[in-house]
Amino acid sequence: MAKTRTLPTAARLIAALSMAALGWFASDLVRPLMPPHTAFGWFNYVNAVLGLLCGWYVIGSRVGRGYTDALANGLTGALALVIWAFFAQSLNLMLKQAMENKYDGPMQAIIGIFTNAVGYAQFLVDPTLIAALLIGGMICGLLAEATSRRWS
């Protein structure tokens, strides 16, 4: 049974694409919350790819357990997306700061990742963003479950 979990399915594809769309949409909601001088660069693309991976691996691997579990799977996928996005964006900022010699050693740089994540979190406590992630995650889980029932 372990080998079949890694096979591509329509439910995994729908979960991945819907979470990628959620990652892109949430990234657009984040932009006005950040300071005006923030350089976003590949922000939307990175978060969309993270959403794609979270949809494929987190939600897609758990489909077929019912609609109640699908809601929980969607919330888990959204939480995984947020955690990985915080890590990726904080790591990116830490690398930029390291190139500017803001850290005395590798341990301070690693701590800098978590410091940057806390700094980002202070800007992102927004009801609209949180609601979009929660509702969007649940919709992604339900879409994957419905696809699983339809195509299996």
Render pLDDT for 87-103 as a digit per residue (tens, 0 to 9): 999 999 999 999 999 99
Predicted pLDDT at 1:
44
Q: Crossing angle for the helix pair 67-99 and 10-30, nearest 10 degrees?
A: 50
User: 149 with 67: CB under 8 angstroms?
Assistant: no
Q: Model confidence over 14-49: pLDDT tens digits? A: 999 999 999 999 999 999 999 888 888 899 999 999
Q: Based on the structure, what is the number of domains in the chain?
A: 1
Dist. CA 64–CA 24, nearest whole Å: 26
The number of residues making up the chain comes to 152
Q: What is the pTM of this model?
A: 0.90
Confidence band for 135, pLDDT divided at 50, 70 and 90 = very high
Tell me which residue range forms the domain holding 112. Answer: 2-151
Average pLDDT over residues 73-91: 95
For residues 109-130, b (16+ Cβ closer than 10 Å) or e, as one string? beebbeebbeebeeebeeeebe
